[in-house]
Every structure is written in C-alpha cells, then in structure tokens.
Amino acid sequence: MSIALTVAGSDSGGGAGIQADLKTFATLGVHGTSVITCLTAQNPTGVVGVQAAEPRMVRKQLEAVFSELRPQAIKTGMLFSCEIIREVAAFLAGTKKLPPLIVDPVMVATSGARLLKPDAIAALEHELLPRATLLTPNVPEAEALTGLSIREPEDLRTAARMLRARHGCAVLVKGGHLADARNAVDLFYDGRTELLLSAPFVGGLSTHGTGCTYSAAVAAFCAQGCGLPEAVRRAKAFITQAIARSRRVAGHWVLGF
C-alpha cells in the first residue's frame, strides 16, 4: 500500500482534523500515518479547548514515521503556533527527496474558533510554504493570505495567481464559502495548468471537515502516483460525493464515505 502522512490536530468529534484525514486515506486505499500537533476538545457545534503538543514531540513523531513508514505524500492541517510550524519546516528541510506536500492553511474552524495563532501566519508563509507542492485555502483563508475581497469565481482566479506568484507552489482556492453560489467552484493553478472545478452546491448541510477531507484526498491520490492536476480532479469528485452522501449522527451532519 502507498503511505500518506497527515500533520494536523485531533478532532474529538471525529469530523475533521486527524480523524477525517485517516478516514479519507483508508477509504481511498492508502495507509495513513499521523503526527498530532494539537489536542482539541470539540464537537460539531464548536471548539471548547485547544492544547498544543510540545514541538519536540511533534519532531519525534515525524522521525518515528519517516524511519519506518516513509510517506509518498504529506498533508498539513492545523499547525497552531510558530513553534510547531518551525519544527515541521525544519524537519522537512532536512528530508531528502521530499514527497508532495499539501498545505491546508487551517486558520479558523467552521464554528469560528481560531486554529492558527495570528503571529504564526508569517511563519507559515515564510517557512512552510516555500516547501509546499500545493496550497489549499478556502475563501476566508485566501482573503487573509492575499488581502483581497473574494466574492465571485473570477476572484478565485486572481487569488490563486497571486498566491502562486508569491509562494511558488500550486494553489487550489476552494470557493465553497462564496455567497449565493449555485455551484461549488474551486480554482486550481500551478503556473501552467488552470482548472475550474465545479459541482452542484448541496444546500442545507453543515459540512464540517470538508477542507480536511479534500486536502487529504489530494494527498492520497498523490501518494498513489497521480500527477497534481489529476489528483486535484479526483479529490474534487471524492469530496463532492462525500458531501452528497452526508448522514445524520446524533442530529449532526457528517460526511459520507
């Protein structure tokens, strides 16, 4: 089996974070490994507590995984602090033949809880993104990283090109937060290939964990040997299906795998 690694926070509600990533890897036939950056106390209604891991423990997890279960692709999610970002970036900088690195810049939970400290954004941009293969911001994250106001699909294109020029990696701007959208539109740009990915918008659902699942799916397909544009196409189809198959658990919507 191919191996993928997720470096992210734990979601005690099981809908996002490490738990969503590992479910995605397993569904797509990839062996999932994990480095837990934070414990969160959360459920579908919100985050009530965050406890960050010690940076040295983050590094020990990375060393343990790479020594015996070297991944063919990596995704990062909730990194939370400058110290954790720097530890992850330093480890990856010393890694020979770094596999595709998918960076999901998790900043704020769906409920509004902050999952990245404000002073950690610069560390993310200057220390981790130079090593990224793909950056996958949603609309609020893309606005925070670019300073743009993103209101329509053409704005996704502008943001993707700006982020590509600034950081040198491919960019997938996810447009699920666009107001009054009939379709869930995402824009991928890698400097040569541009993809406008569209699927019918599924209304009436609280789609907690979609960003984690989407980026984890990209990582899984990369681990299996797909080129990046194809991995993104397949991941879009996967997350669209997962949203359409959402189920009720104790009165809350969860993605269907």
Q: Residues with catalytic annotation?
A: 174, 207, 209-212
Sign of the dihedral defined by the CA atoms of residues 82, 83, 88, 91, in that order: positive
Burial group, residue 121, by CB count within 10 angstroms (0-12, 13-18, 19+): middle
In sequence order, the 6+-apart residues with CB closer than 8 A to the CB of 165 are none
Note whether 31 and 69 are within 8 A (CB).
Answer: yes
Element (H, E) at 68: helix 55-68
Least Cα distance to 199 among 212, 180, 186 occurs for 186
Two structure tokens written together for 165 = 């020029």
Give the C-alpha distances (Å, rounded to integers) separating 143 from 49, 128, 175: 26, 19, 11
CB 190 within 8 A of CB 229: yes
Pairing of strands 3-11, 31-43: parallel
* The amino acid at 133: T
Q: Beta strand 170-174 with 46-52: parallel, antiparallel or unpaired?
A: unpaired
